Structure 1
Amino acid sequence: MTDINAFAPITLPEDFIFGAATSAFQIEGAVNEDGRGPSIWDEFTAKKGRIRSGHNAVTACDHYHRFETDVDLMKRMRLQAYRFSVAWPRIMPTGTGSVNMAGLDFYSRLTDSLLEAGIEPFATLFHWDMPLSIYQNNGGFISRDTCDYFADYVEVVVKVLGDRIKNWITLNEPFEHACFGHLLGNHAPGHHRMGHFLKAMHHQLLAHGKAVERIRSISDESKVGITLSLTPILPSSDSANDKWAAEFGNQLLNHITLSALYKGRYPEELQQRLRWFWPKIEDGDMALIGTPSDFVGVNHYNCEYASHRWYIPFLKSWISGANAADAEYEQGGKWYTAMGWEVNPWGMYEVLRMLREDYGNPEVYITENGAAFEDTLVNGEVNDSKRIEYFQGYFAEVIHACGIGSKIKGYFAWSLLDNFEWAEGYEKRFGLIHVDYETQKRTLKDSALWYSWLIKHRTL
């Protein structure tokens, strides 16, 4: 871990931006309004036992109706950029065919409001809310056809918003959508099949390549990238078997995307070990996946640990970053967030080192970094000092990496608002802004005030 006191004040590059991030399904609500079609997450949350406490995102943070209030809060926080996602089923209710102009109008108004406030919009085009019809008809990203459907949807959005939005993220965390939704089954659509996981992985990356081409054909001025969740995997012990498990875990979680995007191939050992399930790779696939992009988005929260388990089919590894605790606590000199994730800022440095040394040092935006804690509103205030400590440690590593050559263009805190945290429902709060879900009242937490100070002074 880097000591934040070890740094002399530095001047960040003039074009380094500070922002915050959200996603459509987690904050918008209004799932049945203005022509929006259902997504796989609407169906998934309606199934008993899928979401903690039976929560759903029908209302969420009601951002769809309150976006102007939220933009005002962003301006108060001095945010320079805002990363949001466009809901595919709000634009094309069945995923293909007819376009819902009311959905496009919402994102147009949001974009205009951001620009009027001096906030640069960064739009993510897929943040897991697959239109339900596409999934029902062809399995979503299990099918290659979805790559073309996605590219058509991207074209619709960029033709309308590309005159104002100049920074596009094709997909958010393709590994997580593929793994949690198609192998582990704890996210939508809820599959438990290795073959489905690998197909969804490969087809998302193909969809990324197609989207990059489509965006560039429409808007010469646009910058395009993809956001990946990068998580260093460490051995659980010094044993040779656990060290192997960690190396293999890094192939599975990190290099499966990075190697395909930047080296034109999947990791050899991973592909060999899972050869019975690997999807067909057609001529031109890897070249399309490797279509040069302008930046890579990095989502980083924690490290994970791997141990060798001979009885686990094919993988022979157990990988976990969560402690069994259900709230933040300290144990054995380590401390954890409310998600049970160990706080280890070194992981941020390691991710940026890997990109710099192993993948050609691409331009990077930290598109998500943050932590959930047991935030309590007391007398109109939320004293979330642990979150501030978390941010200080991780941002110190960003500064460290900048100082030794990483090309980092900006940092987005996750999340702007407390929100619907997928399978955790509303139990876990990641926001800089506290949301009372009954009244929808917003309150700036102490971390939001600290972040505003950081943006103003641009140094720790």
Structure 2
Amino acid sequence: MTYQALHASDLAIPDGFILGAATAAYQIEGAASEDGRGPSIWDTFSHTAGTTAGGATGDVAADHYHHVTADLDLMAALHLDVYRFSISWSRVIPDGEGAVNPAGLAFYSDLIDGLLERGISPVVTLNHWDLPQTLEDKYGGWRGRETAYAFERYAELVGAALGDRVAIWSTHNEPWNNSFAGYGHGVFAPGITRHEDALKAAHHLNLAHGLAVSALRKTITKPDAKVSIVLNIFRVEPETPADEEAARRFDAVANRVFTGPVLEGAYPADLLEDTRHFTDWAFVLPGDEAICHQPIDLLGVNYYEVMHIRARNDFNPALEQAGGTEFPGSERVELFRPDGFARTAMGWTVEPRGLEDHLVALSAQYPDLPIMVMENGAAFEDEVTEVGGLPAVMDPDRTQFLIDHVTATLRARERGARIDGYLVWSLLDNFEWAAGYGPRFGIIRVDYDTLRRTPKLSAHWFAELCQTRNVPALEAKVIV
């Protein structure tokens, strides 16, 4: 089988620009009840009827826990500069606080050593949504202030154990989904539907971030290690000038609820006013915003699509007062996907120019803070075939997506944005949260029946990108 060239680029990867791939613990590890791991809120949620597509759980996922050596070898074959993964808090501290599980800590220590042996730098995320279930039961999860202090102790422990070898630390990944999808809209774990709880969770995630940054600073010993947070700061575009107020509302509750306290030291006044129907913000105690606002070395940004906004024409004050929809203010705001763009298997619009403009704007807003694209990728259908009796996977749409978005990232740098790297989501096909195992984001295909790994066309393309340090054309060639 051959594949014809789609795109050629004369862009070179700048010196020092980091290329890598990313995953998350609950999405790939499996071994959910092995070697002392405690349950997380995603174990409980996924085992609750009706919460995930097809009743899917992360019990096995891609079984990375038992395939770690083979997966490391695949990473080496891709010539990755870095590999970003998350630590399962409940694998290391089964109850979220208290006794440490040595086997869980050893798994991550061995993973880091395996990366370094292959010349790949580890990038670690402490929280990628899989909060220990015990903390949800005991404190109300991220609704409870105590959970932020448990997170501080967790960060201190992991920083002391692994902080001599990790290149980049991230406190949280996409706290928007932790808080608003998990505690407001209820479509993610733990499945709570109350706007005030979502806002409480957002604040306690911000507080936990600040506490964890301080804990990491005290414990990590690698001299050039960086500390960051990974936010899915949305690119917000109103449909018309008449929709700018709706866009402002969305930006406040989607973006500035995190960037305000974390990057600027205070919650924005318009956010507080917009949400007064749902909470008096009494859970923000004196001094909290200063704790949230700790100096970081790097801002991680995840990008998948542009958020197109228009004002709802059927606003109902009674529904706003009741809450229980996706986010506070969603009764006034409509998110829509315009025609004229290609769509991924998730129905998301493909807009690489949105990434370019977004990175330029963010870098202008925070000029002293380097930015890294920590996640970018897409779910598309794979064509599974054989070449010479061996499996081959053709994914031209995903490969074109990566060409366009890597190019967009480099164009943003040419326009003056301070962008340090690009990480593809995801290394492996995996458990895609509430969507189960239908959508495939990986550049390496996982056969969920046999757990066999097969690099896709996109993986071969990404390996060439990493090895040659140029954005390659997709020349006609056999991919095996």
Report the secondary structure of 1:65's partner residue: coil
Higher relative contact order by CA 8 Å / sep ≥ 6: 1 or 2? Answer: 2
Residue matched to 1:327: none
1:337 correspondence with 2:348: no
Report the secondary structure of 2:165's partner residue: coil
Q: 1:238 to 1:321 in 2, by over 3 A?
A: closer
Q: Is the 8 A contact 2:162 2:220 kept in 1?
A: no
In structure 2, how many angstroms separate the alpha carbons of the residues matched to 1:186 and 1:162?
A: 34
Cα deviations by residue, 1:296-352 (Å, 9 ceiling, x for unpaired): 1111000122221222516143343568xxxxxxxx532100000000112212321
Moved over 6 A (4+): 4-7
Residue matched to 1:329: none
Q: 1:32 to 1:88 in 2, by over 3 A?
A: same
Residue matched to 1:283: 286
In structure 1, how many angstroms separate the alpha carbons of the residues matched to 2:229 and 2:34?
A: 29
1:358 correspondence with 2:372: no
Residue matched to 2:218: 217
Within 5 A, what are the aligned runs for 1:244-263? Answer: 244-263=245-264
What amino acid sits opposite 2:214 in the alignment?
E
User: Percent of pairs identical after alignment?
Assistant: 41
Within 5 A, what are the aligned runs for 1:42-191? Answer: 42-191=43-192
In structure 2, how many angstroms separate the alpha carbons of the residues matched to 1:371 and 1:415?
A: 9
Report the secondary structure of 1:168's partner residue: strand
Q: Is the 8 A contact 1:53 1:425 kept in 2?
A: yes
Cα deviations by residue, 1:357-385 (Å, 9 ceiling, x for unpaired): 22234111111000001113111111111
Report the secondary structure of 2:349's partner residue: coil
Cα deviations by residue, 1:398-437 (Å, 9 ceiling, x for unpaired): 1111112222111110000000000000000000000000
In structure 2, how many angstroms separate the alpha carbons of the residues matched to 1:6 and 1:446?
A: 16
Within 5 A, what are the aligned runs for 1:291-306? Answer: 291-306=294-309
Residue matched to 1:413: 424
In structure 2, how many angstroms separate the alpha carbons of the residues matched to 1:46 and 1:6?
A: 46
What amino acid sits opposite 1:339 in the alignment?
M
What amino acid sits opposite 1:256 in the alignment?
V
What amino acid sits opposite 2:420 in the alignment?
K
Gaps in structure 1 of 5+ consecutive residues: 324-331
Report the secondary structure of 1:122's partner residue: strand
In structure 2, how many angstroms separate the alpha carbons of the residues matched to 1:7 and 1:447?
A: 16
Q: CA RMSD in A?
A: 1.7
Q: Is the 8 A contact 1:249 1:319 kept in 2?
A: no
1:440 correspondence with 2:441: no
In structure 2, how many angstroms separate the alpha carbons of the residues matched to 1:390 and 1:321?
A: 21
Report the secondary structure of 1:335's partner residue: coil
Residue 243 of structure 1: how far off its partner (Å) = 2.5
TM-score, scaled relative to structure 2: 0.90
TM-score, scaled relative to structure 1: 0.94
Q: 1:390 to 1:443 in 2, by over 3 A?
A: same
Residue matched to 1:368: 375
In structure 1, how many angstroms separate the alpha carbons of the residues matched to 2:98 and 2:13?
A: 49
What amino acid sits opposite 1:232 in the alignment?
R
Of residues 381, 390, 394 in structure 1, which corresponds to 2:392?
Answer: 381
Residue matched to 2:415: 404
Residue 356 of structure 1: how far off its partner (Å) = 1.5
Q: Is the 8 A contact 1:416 1:431 kept in 2?
A: yes
Report the secondary structure of 2:67's partner residue: helix
Of residues 318, 332, 335 in structure 2, which corresponds to 1:320?
Answer: 335
Gaps in structure 2 of 5+ consecutive residues: 1-5, 321-327, 472-480
Residue matched to 2:34: 33
Residue 8 of structure 1: how far off its partner (Å) = 4.7
In structure 2, how many angstroms separate the alpha carbons of the residues matched to 1:156 and 1:345?
A: 39
Residue 175 of structure 1: how far off its partner (Å) = 1.1
Q: Is the 8 A contact 2:80 2:120 kept in 1?
A: yes
Cα deviations by residue, 1:42-80 (Å, 9 ceiling, x for unpaired): 000011110001111110000001011000001111111
Q: Is the 8 A contact 1:34 1:103 kept in 2?
A: yes
In structure 2, how many angstroms separate the alpha carbons of the residues matched to 1:321 and 1:256?
A: 22
> For structure 1, which segment, 427-436 or 140-149, has the greater mean C-alpha deviation from structure 2 after superposition?
140-149
In structure 2, how many angstroms separate the alpha carbons of the residues matched to 1:135 and 1:274?
A: 24
Cα deviations by residue, 1:162-192 (Å, 9 ceiling, x for unpaired): 1111311111111111010011100000011
